[in-house]
Amino acid sequence: MGRWLDSFGIIMNKSLDRIRKELDEFREKRNIVSEIVSNSITEEEDSVGREWWISHECFNNLENWDRDVVLDTYLPNVKLIPSSIGTSIYVECPFCKKIKNVTDFSNW
């Protein structure tokens, strides 16, 4: 059971059932990557990033989300790396730091 602060700063418990429910709801979202960088992500990049993230072992490990403070957004890290011909888009796991390149090179 995780602990979290309510709006008054009181430490509350967050059950694994609640975390599991929140993760299930998050899996239903369609625009995970574009929620972070809305104007730079194609639908294809968002889809590839979403599928990688919601199937990633760290995302699906409830213990990763059982924390002392509720700051988790269930979002991955997104890194944008510019080059002379376009910007590469990487989705990174905030836990193990594995990276997936989701760049749609067809639009370069």
- pLDDT tens profile 36-69: 776 778 889 999 999 999 999 999 998 888 775 5
Domain that holds residue 11: 2-107
How many independent structural domains does the chain possess?
1
Which sign, positive or negative, has the C-alpha torsion 94, 25, 101, 33? Answer: negative
pTM recorded for the entire structure = 0.73
If you average pLDDT over each of 11-15, 54-58, 74-78, 84-88, which comes out highest? 54-58
The Cα–Cα gap between 17 and 94 comes to: 22
What confidence tier does 12 reach under pLDDT thresholds 50, 70, 90? low
Cα separation, 96 vs 108, whole angstroms: 30
